[in-house]
Homo-oligomer: A and B are copies of this chain.
Amino acid sequence: MKVIFLGSGGSVPTKDRGLPAVLVEYLNELFLFDCGEGTLRQLMIYSAKNGKNKGKNDGKNKQEKINFMNINKIFITHFHADHIGGLIGIINTMNFLGRNKVLEIYGGKGLNNIIKNLPIPKDAMQFVKIYEILGGDVIEGEGYKFVSFKTIHTPESLGFVFEEKEKRKFLKEKAIALGIPEGKLYSNLQRGESINFNGKIINPDSVLSKPIKGRKIVYTGDTTPCENTVKFANDCDVLIHDSTYSDADINKISDHGHSTALQAAETAKQAKAKSLFLIHISQRYADSKILEDEAKKVFENSCVVSDFMSVQISPSPEKRISAS
């Protein structure tokens, strides 16, 4: 599972930072948090740079490029232009390339109206399904769920949690020790079913590990620091938090819809997050080290996002996070 930052800037793009877009690669699916102007091209640039297959070759030297056509769900935190400007391009291009598969787009009240008014041909809208949701809504998927939570930015602004369901590992050595032959019985036990083996009832607990907590990532979108983030980001592996400003500048700024790096770090600490990624960096910080230093004073495992940075999140509870 990988998080790929396609755009890390806020409000106005700069030569170095595109507008907000965070891609999550999970098994064979792609999910997108926000879709700032330029997202599709950022994805193509990332894919061209990183598309080479790294070892999991199928023998045909096939490249596993990231294919934006595999994006199945897009989550929009709110409707400011820097978070939705890329939808026109993504939807039109999917249509241009003949997409039929449903593309689900989730966001707060008003999303339907926003998307229906975009310059997108009617036939493109045949594969787009729009879901207006509220804070606390749950979207269930195959082995995972998304949960939305209300943030403090606009009346409809939302943050999103991606949470994998907990898993139990099949301990083959225990099954072998019990003399169970490979095959259907293994599958039953893996699914958590008891089996009857040689007249003896074998409980799945005998061959399954303790539950392993699923991976959890949280994306706030734009928000001032808020209790909801602390609550919903509790014990997450990756917290991606608005960090528009440095706390040193907060008195100069009349805008109160955003967070500083320090505030993001305090939230990460309170939420007991494992790692913090600072995003939505204002154009005023050509050098963002000041933001990272500020956050690290409160929460050591902080990192300012740059475009095309990615974070690998392993299922192993011991060593989950590795950024590159």
Contacts and interface: CB of A to CB of B under 8 A. Distances in A.
Interface string A49-74: 10000000000000000000000000
Interface stretch (A83-91, A227-235, A289-297, A314-322): A83-91
A120 interface: yes
Given A119-B114, A120-B81, A89 B13 contact: yes
A278 B89 CA distance: 23
A93 interface: yes
A257 to B, nearest CB: 13
Interface in A1-52: 11-15, 18-19, 37-38, 40-41, 44-45, 47-49
Contacts of A253: none
Nearest to A38: B38
Number of copies: 2
A120 to B, nearest CB: 7
B37 A119 contact: no
Interface residues of A, number: 34
A112 interface: no
Contacts of A89: 13, 19, 37, 81-82, 85
A48 B15 contact: yes
B44 A79 contact: no
A41 B88 CA distance: 17
A117 interface: yes
A118 interface: yes
A44 B37 CA distance: 14
B40 A40 contact: no
B88 A37 contact: yes
Contacts of A41: 13-15, 18, 37-38
Contacts of A118: 117-119
B88 A85 contact: yes
A45 B117 contact: no
Interface in A114-130: 114, 117-120
A92 interface: yes
A191 B98 CA distance: 60
Given A18-B41, A82-B92, 15 more contacts: A11-B93, A12-B93, A13-B44, A15-B47, A37-B38, A37-B88, A37-B89, A80-B92, A81-B92, A81-B119, A85-B88, A114-B119, A117-B118, A118-B118, A118-B119
20 contacts: A12-B40, A12-B96, A12-B97, A13-B41, A13-B44, A13-B89, A15-B44, A15-B47, A15-B48, A37-B85, A37-B86, A38-B38, A81-B88, A81-B89, A81-B119, A81-B120, A82-B92, A85-B89, A85-B92, A114-B119
